[in-house]
Amino acid sequence: MNRAALILAVAGFALTACQQPAVAGEAVVAAPAPKRIAAEKPGLRTAVFAGGCFWGVEAVFSHMKGVTSAVSGYHGGTARSATYDLVSSGVTDHAEAVRVTYDPRVVRYDQLLQVFFSVVADPTLKNRQGPDVGAHYRAALVPLNDEQRTVASAYLKQMAASGKWKRPIVTGIERAQAFYPAETYHQDFAQKNPRHSYIVRWDAPKVRALKSMYPSLYKASFTPN
């Protein structure tokens, strides 16, 4: 891409970034209880979830018991282009994503999946979530070990057969690549900016849905990364 085209693409950031005004609501779905339970040994585990704007993904996981860290960042692509302006312009191969570290003695990977598809991401949308459009807002699972991969694959098949969604499931599993933490001002964004219009309209309802649908997994405090 030449310099002029790159400048124009980055200028389009204002039309594609998380700050987009709310235009329509998102419905929560009671995703099915996983049949394939994750068999995870004691010790902290990490997985990556892409589910649209990372502010909301991070907010939900940061309110879950057993999650010790949720870091917003960019999965895939290159280190050089892992910046918010470039990723939001749509000119890179990254996905906005969150790296979640959790204690399987408290919350298992399969439970993270159920919550993710219940209150965070619509698995029937391709290259978009909520008001945000573009491949960098795609929903994807990025398992980091064989057990996570097996559980994720089984759960996507179970979701497709469940009849919970009227449209086909298009969320897939992506090969783990480099994860680049996002800029500091994006970390713990929902906690630091509770009155931000995007948070109020799109992400606070996700946290409330977590509390309502999964009270045994919800905690009122926010776990900072």
Q: Which helix (H) or strand (E) holds 110?
A: helix 109-115
> How far is residue 73's CA from residue 138's CA, in Å, rounded to a whole number?
14
Helices 54-62, 204-213: crossing angle, 10 deg rounding: 30
Residue 18 falls in the annotated catalytic set: no
36's torsion region: left (phi>0), alpha (psi -120 to 50) or beta? beta
Task: Spot the catalytic one: 53, 64, 169, 209.
Answer: 53
- CB proximity list for 9: less than 8 A, separation 6 or greater: 1, 89, 90, 91
Do residues 15 and 71 touch, judged by C-beta distance below 8 A? no
The catalytic residues are 53
